[in-house]
Amino acid sequence: MIDLSAYQGIIFDMDGTLIDSMGSHLQAWQKACEAYGYPFDYDYMYSLGGIPTVKTIEMLNEKFGLDHDPLVVAKDKHQFWVDLQHHPLVIDETVAVLEKYHGVLPMGVGTGADREHAIDHLTDTNLINKIGALVTASDVSKGKPNPETFLKVAALLGVEPSQCVVFEDTQIGYQAAKSAGMDCIMVKDGKIQL
C-alpha cells in the first residue's frame, strides 16, 4: 500500500479515479456526438475527462466549426447517460487508499462532474460519508486544467495546497494539480502508477 504520511491532505478526482464510470460517459458522448454531427474520437474524448460538459461542448463546437447550444447538448448527453442505467463501480486500488486514510488524513473529491451527478455517484458507491469536501463543476468558474477545483478542495479541508496529493486519471487533471502546487499520482486503467 502506498505511503502518504508525508502529506496533510488527499484529493481524489472522481470519474476514472475513484469510480469506474468513464466507459459509460464515453458511450453517452458517442451518442451525443452522433446526434449533433460531431465526429467521435474515443481517445480525444477520453483526454477531455475532467472538463465540465458545457466546456467540452464549447471545445467540440470550436474544433468542428459547429455552433450547437452547449446547454442543450449537455442536457441531451446527460439523458443519454441516464438511459444507459449505468451502476457505477469503485476502482479498488484508489478506494483502498481512501479506506486506509479515512479518519487519518482529511480527504476530498475534486471533479469535473456536476454536483448532482457527483453526489449520486458517491452515494451509490457508499463513498460520500468518507470525504470531507466535494468540489464539482457546479462550484467553480473555471474547470480543469485550471487549478480552481483542487485549490477549493484544499481550502475546504483546511490544508495548504503544497501539503496535498491528488489522484487523477487524465492529463488535464494532472495539469490542474500541478498548477495548484500539489503532487499528483496518476491512475491508469484502475491501477495506481508509481
- Which residues are part of the catalytic machinery? 13
| Cell triple for 163 | 501539503
Residue 6 CA: distances (Å) to CA of 59, 74, 164, 174: 38, 40, 9, 19
Residues 6+ apart with CB under 8 A from 58: 70
Residue 26 CA: distances (Å) to CA of 17, 45, 149, 185: 15, 7, 22, 23
CB atoms within 10 A of CB 60: 24
Q: Is 165 exposed, middle or buried (0-12, 13-18, 19+ CB in 10 A)?
A: buried
Q: Is 15 exposed, middle or buried (0-12, 13-18, 19+ CB in 10 A)?
A: buried
As a whole number of angstroms, the distance between CA 39 and CA 150 comes to: 31
